Chains A and B, each alone.
Chain A
Amino acid sequence: MTTPVFYVHKSGLETTLQDQGRPGFQQYGITESGAMDGFALAMGNFLAGNHPDAPALEITMAGPELEMISACTLALAGGDLGARLNGERLASFTSFYVQPGDRLTFDGPVFGVRTYLTVAGGLIGTKTLGSTATFEKAAMGGIDGRKVRKGDTLTRGSFHKDFKTQAGKRVHADLADHPYEKRPLRVLTGPEWEAFTEDGRRMFLSNGYQVTGQSNRMGYRLHGPDITHEDRADILSDAVPFGTIQVAADGQPMIMMADRQTTGGYTRIGHVITADHPYLAQLKPGDEVTFQLVSMKKAHEALSRQQMACKKFAFARGLT
């Protein structure tokens, strides 16, 4: 059964339906897509009483204007884009209850660039290859393969819990803020680490790099001191998982994100560890990042801690 939840008066800058993506098809050249900040989507879904993979709105920079059609529990998680319910400020990482006629609006970014609006029961969209994640280039998922736009009415699925009891919940600040604390991005060396000069590698590890305006769901282009190659910047096309840092002949790094192609043709200097992907997903043009090498053991420990914290939270919400 589906129930209309809200009507879209304004779409916002880039509002899409996303879940945790469609892995499993990269061998066919099919992009993974899904939430840029999978941690925030999972927490938002837990707040709304859902499975971590339930489809939600990914809202970027300038949020939409929505009018509620039915009573329901919603939650916001991720960056703080200045959300207001009937003019009252809503904090990120909280759930709230809405009534028909309520208006959800966004002032603009206070922290980060992406927030997830989750809805008890999960939003309903078009499923492509088992996922609702929007990938417009190939018209996959979303609403008939596209972004959310003005005039859309979004519907939700059914849920088991008494949804009134889900409102007014929040994620403890330690857990909600930890992934977003300012710090260097932790990286593992990439397979072409040796393809860079010693000087190039030192530049990469000792300088700040600025996120440029040429940054989107596919990837971020960064700007900073040149990272010089020994010989060639091109490789035979090969896999580039989320967080891979490629450096083309111009010596500037680019970080591959959710809508990246499945393979890339530039030397891979490193990979941002998975536990730092939420931090990466909330960067905006103008932000500066630095890189710090860590061991794979440390990367796995950090990921394990983050996922255990998520699981504990889900458990406390009675969702396991």
Chain B
Amino acid sequence: MDDPIITPLGDRALRVNFGSVISEHIHKNVRSLCVLLEKYPRWGVIEWIPSYTSVTIMYDPLELPFEHGYRYVEELMQLALSEPLPPARTVEIPVVYGGTYGPDLDNVAAHNQISAEDVIHKHSTPTYMIYMLGFAPGFPYLGGLPEELATPRLAEPRTVVPAGAVGIAGPQTGIYPLESPGGWQIIGQTPLTLYRPDAEPPVLLQAGDRLQFSAVSEDEFVEISESVRAETYEPVIRWECEADD
């Protein structure tokens, strides 16, 4: 693990910062620390929040003095040197593209001067990195959208975007976990539920996972929707060890 900078973030949090740019290498440190925080819990630690370049650890200063929290993180860093990182998950996200499910597919195609089929192909080919969750319950901040799909947001945001909508906003792609207003270019919809309060954990995707979109037909969408509702759907997940770097 790279040497981080550990600083207070207010009087109840400790921020462990690994760098200042979005990179898979920096994020590997973030994931590694989160894995160790889970594996070696410490009294007084309430929770932690991973982001692109840092992990913020919330603690109760009356249970765990700052200096002890600092030393705990240093100990975890030492452990990181000897403990292999568990395999990362790649979760497959079925998407029905275009039509009423993806009303802005043609916008994205036109903006980038490619065909709608090309948009679907280019969007469902890469493996995307989930750097962090935020903005809404279970919303993944993804890295890896091909540059030739980047499209500005809608000039006029929609008042209602359905849960599961898959969209593009500038250089970013994402999935709406909840029905909400929004200005992203909607190119498709997934039948999977990203936020599921009765499950453990309550979200489908986690920081450090990867995901891949796979194009499905409307019939398949309906079929998967039904098995998601019946709670019989098993997401397709691949496990991959990350190469040492």
Using a CB–CB cutoff of 8 Å, the interface residues on chain A facing chain B are 23-31, 128-129, 137-138, 140, 188, 190-191, 236-239, 241, 243-244, 261-263, 268, 271-274, 296, 299-300, 303-304, 307
Q: Is the interface of B mostly helix, strand, loop or mixed?
A: loop
With the chains together, A238 CA to B55 CA distance in Å? 9
**Number of interchain pairs (Cβ within 8 Å):** 130
Also in contact, A138 and B11, with CB within 8 A (given A23-B46, A30-B202, A304-B62): no
The reply to whether A239 and B135 contact each other, CB–CB distance below 8 Å, is: no
Question: Which among A24, A140, A191, A268 is the interface contact of B197 at CB below 8 angstroms?
Answer: A140
Interface pair B178/A138, CB less than 8 Å apart: yes
Q: By the criterion CB–CB under 8 Å, are A296 and B66 in contact?
A: yes
Q: Assuming the A-B contacts A188-B8, A263-B49, A263-B134, are A137 and B13 also in contact, with contact meaning beta carbons closer than 8 angstroms in the complex? A: no
Counting CB contacts under 8 A, is B22 at the interface? yes
Contacts A137-B180, A303-B62, A304-B61 known; list 19 others, CB within 8 Å.
Answer: A25-B137, A27-B50, A29-B137, A29-B138, A138-B137, A190-B9, A191-B17, A237-B51, A237-B134, A238-B53, A238-B56, A239-B51, A263-B51, A263-B135, A268-B9, A274-B12, A299-B11, A300-B62, A307-B62
Size category, B interface: 35 or more
Is chain A's interface secondary structure helix, strand, loop, or mixed overall?
mixed
Contact with A along B30-63 (1 / 0, CB 8 A): 0000100000000000111111111010100110
Measured CA separation A263–B133 after assembly (Å) = 9
B62 x A236 contact (CB < 8 A): no
Query: Which chain A positions have C-beta within 8 A of B139?
Result: 29
Choose one: B11, B133, B135; the contact of A271 (CB below 8 Å). B11
Contact sample, A vs B, 7 pairs, CB 8 Å cutoff = A24-B47, A29-B136, A262-B133, A263-B51, A271-B10, A271-B11, A274-B12
Q: Is the CB of A29 within 8 A of B11?
A: no
A30-B202, A138-B195, A261-B135 in contact; A237/B13 too (CB < 8 A)?
A: no
Identify the closest chain B residue to A187 (Cβ).
B10
Cα-based distance from A31 to B58 in the complex (angstroms): 14
Minimum CB distance partner of A244 in chain B? B10
Report chain A residues within 8 Å CB of B137. 25, 28-31, 138
Chain B residue at smallest Cβ distance from A264: B134
B7 to chain A: which residues have CB within 8 Å?
191
Q: How far does the alpha carbon of A59 sit from the alpha carbon of B62 in the complex, in Å?
A: 30
Q: Measured between alpha carbons, how far is A135 from B119 in the docked complex, in Å?
A: 36
CB closest residue in chain B, given A29: B133
The residue of chain A having its C-beta at the shortest distance from the C-beta of B51 within the complex is: A238
Provide the bound-state CA to CA distance between A190 and B133, in Å.
Answer: 22
Report how far A29 CA is from B174 CA in the complex, Å.
14
Give Cα distance in the complex from A140 to B47, angstroms. Answer: 20
Asked if B141 is at the interface of the complex by the 8 Å CB criterion, the answer is: yes
